[in-house]
């Protein structure tokens, strides 16, 4: 069993249920400090403690055995979240709900040029907007890893959640995420891109941020509803097919080669 997955999930469930380390420690017969060491990976969980933890949370052992989304597969999505959050750290319009649409347009605009997604994730059609399928668990992992904080703020009488990147690492993200994305795209056999003016992935994301970064959640949500991939997906919770970007209409077309002559 991957100990890294265990301590993340213990901390995740404890905080989700608003249980203190003291309370969990009392049940396990260990100190608060010992619980803290478990939740930071400094102390391994004994088999007897693991069974107690399952009983305490009323969860099967399989919950803790199931692997959290792998670092390799989720890293592009996490890096894009960090990049967008850093770029819009001073924007009053950037909230958790806005992030979903910015990710969507970044990925699908890139797909229109390259037949591939920057994040390699899938998107679901929800009633109010398109979202990456694993966005909730991905954000929770990022909080546990101290990559982001999710703050609740009062905005005109409403409680909204703001995503704050805890490290200003835009340059490193640019080097890793965007460079690797462009390299992989050029290597892919199925990604035939005959365009000499193909923009880099960073340019496409920056264009999305510049265009929509200061839009409020309602305005950008309404816009996403009119984009062909979202529009033609039949039912809520269905996967949105990226290939539908090739049936886009203005003003959504970003690859000018797709414009009707």
The listed range with the strongest mean pLDDT (161-170, 186-195, 241-250) is 241-250
Of 119-133, 139-153, 170-184, the poorest mean pLDDT is in 170-184
| Domain residue ranges in the chain | 3-65, 71-258
pTM comes to 0.69
Euclidean distance between CA atoms 117 and 77, whole angstroms: 10
CB 82 within 8 A of CB 175: no
The yes-or-no verdict on residue 2 having pLDDT over 70 is no
Q: Which residue has the higher pLDDT, 15 or 253?
A: 253
Q: What is the pLDDT of residues 33-80, one digit of tens each?
A: 999 888 877 888 888 898 999 898 887 887 777 665 444 467 889 989
Assigned token pair, 153: 């703020």
Q: What is the pLDDT of residues 91-128, one digit of tens each?
A: 887 888 889 999 999 999 999 988 888 888 899 998 88
pLDDT recorded at residue 22: 92
pLDDT recorded at residue 186: 60
Residue 147 has a CB neighbour count (10 Å cut-off) of: 18
Q: What residue has token string 């478990």?
A: 38
Which residues are within 8 A (CB) of 124 and not within 5 positions of it... i.e. 6 or more apart?
130, 131, 132, 133, 237, 238, 239, 240
Name the helix (H) or strand (E) containing 225. Answer: helix 217-226
- pLDDT grade for 151, boundaries at 50, 70 and 90: confident
Q: What residue has token string 């605009």?
A: 109
Q: Which residue has the higher pLDDT, 100 or 172?
A: 100
pLDDT recorded at residue 216: 83
What superfamily does domain 3-65 belong to in CATH?
lambda repressor-like DNA-binding domains (1.10.260.40)
Q: What is the mean pLDDT of the chain?
A: 82
pLDDT recorded at residue 71: 44
Euclidean distance between CA atoms 202 and 182, whole angstroms: 9
pLDDT recorded at residue 220: 86
Percent of the chain with pLDDT over 70: 84
């Amino acid at each position: 069993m991957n100990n890294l997955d265990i301590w993340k999930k213990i901390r995740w469930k404890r905080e989700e249920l608003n249980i203190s380390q003291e309370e969990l420690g009392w049940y396990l017969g260990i100190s608060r400090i010992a619980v803290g060491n478990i939740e930071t990976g400094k102390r391994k969980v004994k088999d007897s403690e693991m069974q107690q933890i399952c009983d305490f949370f009323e969860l099967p052992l399989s919950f803790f055995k199931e692997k959290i989304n792998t670092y390799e597969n989720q890293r592009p999505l996490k890096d894009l979240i960090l990049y967008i959050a850093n770029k819009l750290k001073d924007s009053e319009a950037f909230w958790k709900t806005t992030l979903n649409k910015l990710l969507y347009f970044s990925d699908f605009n890139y797909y229109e040029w390259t037949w591939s997604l920057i994040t390699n994730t899938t998107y679901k059609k929800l009633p109010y907007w398109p979202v990456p399928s694993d966005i909730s668990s991905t954000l929770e992992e990022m909080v546990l890893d101290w990559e982001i904080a999710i703050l609740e703020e009062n905005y005109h009488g409403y409680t909204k959640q703001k995503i704050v990147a805890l490290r200003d690492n835009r340059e490193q993200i640019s080097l890793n995420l965007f460079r690797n994305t462009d390299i992989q795209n050029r290597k892919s056999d199925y990604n035939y891109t005959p365009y000499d003016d193909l923009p880099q992935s960073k340019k496409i994301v920056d264009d999305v941020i510049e265009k929509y970064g200061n839009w409020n959640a309602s305005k950008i949500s309404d816009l996403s509803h009119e984009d062909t991939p979202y529009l033609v997906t039949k039912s809520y919770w269905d996967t949105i097919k990226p290939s539908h970007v090739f049936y886009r209409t203005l003003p959504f077309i970003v690859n000018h080669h797709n414009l009707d002559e």
